[in-house]
Amino acid sequence: MKFKNIAILIFVLLILDQALKLWVKTSMCLDESIEILPWFHLHFVENNGAAFGMQLNTSGAIDWGKLLLSLFRIVMIGGLGYYIHYLNNAARRTPRGVIVGLVLIMAGAIGNLIDSMFYGMIFTASTPLSVATLGEGYSTFLMGKVVDMFYFPLFQWNSVPSWLSFLVDYNNYFFGAIFNLADAYISVAVVYLMLFHYRFFMEEE
């Protein structure tokens, strides 16, 4: 797969991710929800942590968990970029699907890193009573919050076992996690690569 095509794909994926996040951030109050379908809502939340709204609980003047996660994303993006370049130029032909899957993961990581790097510097804080605007930032470099919005309350699971409680929200609706497009890129790519290209990675070893 040509480098130009890889760059274009990453650019398009990032534009889609950031356009949706910017619209949500500047159009909705924190915790506001728009029902698209009974089982699909746009529900605006922000998180300091990893994918699907998971939080990193830290204390102190510096949010070390947030900082370490941002630094990890930077290292991962660099490693993925090198690996994609290596596979794309290897003597053995790499299936196009493998490259596309890795590009999806890379674009997802970059998309969430952009939130962390810049949103805290360029936007005012979102609150349940006010919509954020461009202006004095609410945080510093790498300390911005990640914007999430996809919520799928498919059904209410009142008898959920405690060890599966992370799958439901506070009203016991499955699927409880709220996530963004970048998270979806990563999740879809990981499942796709595991299902259809696991042999390639086993042979790589």
Please list the active-site residues.
148, 183
DSSP, residue by residue, 98-161: HHHHHHHHHHHHHHHHHIIIIIHHHBPPPBTTB---BSS-SS-TT-PPEEEEEE---EE-TT--
C-alpha dihedral (71, 63, 190, 83), degrees to nearest 10: 0
Token representation of residue 186: 């990563």
Burial class (CB in 10 A: 0-12, 13-18, 19+), 56: middle
Ramachandran region of residue 130, left (φ > 0), alpha (ψ -120 to 50) or beta? beta
Contact 31, 128 (CB under 8 A): yes
Integer Cα distance of 68 and 62 in angstroms: 11
Token representation of residue 92: 């053995």
**Please, which residues bridge with residue 35 across strands?**
41
Integer Cα distance of 174 and 80 in angstroms: 32
